[in-house]
């Protein structure tokens, strides 16, 4: 209860931060997108990671106002970066959505309102959402409708942690995803484990057949990067390239190219 009250307070007292982790092109090293990851800068406890408060926020429903803050903050950042780029809206920002957020009927309306509020010039920003397979379990039809509506608003949709959840190929066919993010558990052993490579090959065939982009998550070593590139993966994310970090660092990292 105390954590819940503290988080409620945090939302209104500027204690939340978004960190951003790049998704890079393996061939060129170019940053193509960033994933927004929430942090809680607690005045006494320091930086609290989402694993320590998102589950509670899910249970209590606090995830709804919290998630709204995240989406708005990410969209504001996208506008800032777009303006810095001198109008080339290359960099996409993706936001994670939890099951409860997807199940919430007002989500689409909230996103619409946020977009209208941040895009002063009428320019479209590049933004996206990431959801895991479990999101679809509760109410597949409603989730599919919500995802389709978000996509109509211009969102790029990624299926996160792919391969770890309850994956049904049938769902995939009917859902409007653009990108599969291969979970890091399959990336870990990829340089020396034949079965990991086989699994990844079959994921790539699936993605190809369904016309989905692929991102490898959790790439930590040069050996993994090379193996993945040989397998044909173009986009990667992981500590090898960059950790999640504040917006200023991303700007510095991208130098003149933002």
End-to-end CA distance of the chain: 42
Of these partners, Mn ion, Na ion, ligand G, none, which one is at the site of residue 70 (CB under 5 to 8 Å by kind)?
ligand G
Of these partners, ligand G, Mn ion, Na ion, none, which one is at the site of residue 133 (CB under 5 to 8 Å by kind)?
none
142-201 positions binding Na ion, by CB under 5 A? 160-161
Tell me the pairing of strands 179-182 and 213-216: parallel
142 counts as binding ligand G under rule CB under 6 A: no
User: For the window 76-105, what string marks contact with Mn ion as x by the rule CB under 5 A?
Assistant: --------------------x---------
SS (H, E, C) 158-202: EEEEECCCCCCHHHHHHCCCCEEEECHHHHHCCCCCHHHHHHHHH
By beta-carbon proximity to Mn ion, the closer residue of 133 and 160 is 160
By beta-carbon proximity to Na ion, the closer residue of 37 and 118 is 37
Q: Which residues, at least 6 apart from 143, have a Cβ–Cβ distance to it below 8 Å?
A: 102, 103, 135, 136
DSSP string, 200-214: HHHHHHHHHHTT-EE
Q: How far apart are CA 90 and CA 126, in angstroms?
A: 7
By beta-carbon proximity to Na ion, the closer residue of 96 and 227 is 96
Q: Which residues, at least 6 apart from 87, have a Cβ–Cβ distance to it below 8 Å?
A: 123
183 counts as binding Mn ion under rule CB under 5 A: no
- Report the candidate in 197, 199, 163 with the shortest Cα–Cα distance to residue 180: 163
CB of 19 to ligand G, least distance (A): 7
133 counts as binding Na ion under rule CB under 5 A: no
* Options 59, 117, 239, 252; binder of ligand G; rule CB under 6 A: 239
For Mn ion, the binding residues (CB under 5 A) are: 96, 130, 160
Name the site residues for ligand G (rule: CB under 6 A).
21, 37-38, 49-51, 54, 67, 70, 96-98, 130, 160-161, 184, 217-220, 238-239, 244
Residues in touch with Na ion (CB under 5 A)? 160-161, 217
């Amino acid at each position: 209860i105390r954590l819940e009250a503290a988080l409620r307070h945090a939302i209104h007292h500027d204690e939340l931060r978004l960190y951003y982790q790049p998704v890079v092109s393996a061939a060129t090293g170019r940053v193509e997108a960033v994933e927004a990851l929430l942090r809680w800068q607690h005045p006494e406890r320091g930086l609290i990671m989402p694993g320590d408060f998102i589950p509670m926020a899910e249970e209590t429903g606090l995830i709804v106002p919290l998630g709204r803050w995240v989406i708005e903050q990410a969209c504001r950042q996208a506008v800032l970066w777009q303006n810095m780029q001198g109008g080339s809206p290359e960099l996409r920002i993706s936001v994670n959505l939890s099951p409860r957020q997807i199940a919430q009927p007002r989500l689409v309306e909230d996103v619409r309102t946020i977009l209208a509020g941040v895009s002063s010039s009428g320019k479209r920003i590049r933004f996206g959402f990431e959801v895991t397979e479990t999101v679809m379990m509760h109410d597949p039809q409603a989730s599919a409708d919500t995802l389709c509506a978000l996509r109509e608003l211009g969102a790029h949709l990624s299926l996160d942690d792919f391969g770890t959840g309850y994956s049904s190929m049938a769902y995939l066919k009917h859902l409007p995803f653009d990108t599969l993010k291969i979970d890091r558990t399959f990336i870990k052993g990829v340089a020396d484990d034949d079965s990991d490579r086989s699994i990844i090959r079959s994921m790539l065939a699936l993605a190809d057949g369904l016309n989905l982009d692929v991102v490898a998550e959790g790439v930590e070593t040069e050996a993994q990067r090379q193996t993945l590139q040989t397998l044909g993966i173009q986009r990667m994310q992981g500590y090898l390239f960059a950790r999640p970090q504040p917006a200023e660092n991303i700007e510095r990292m991208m130098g003149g190219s933002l």
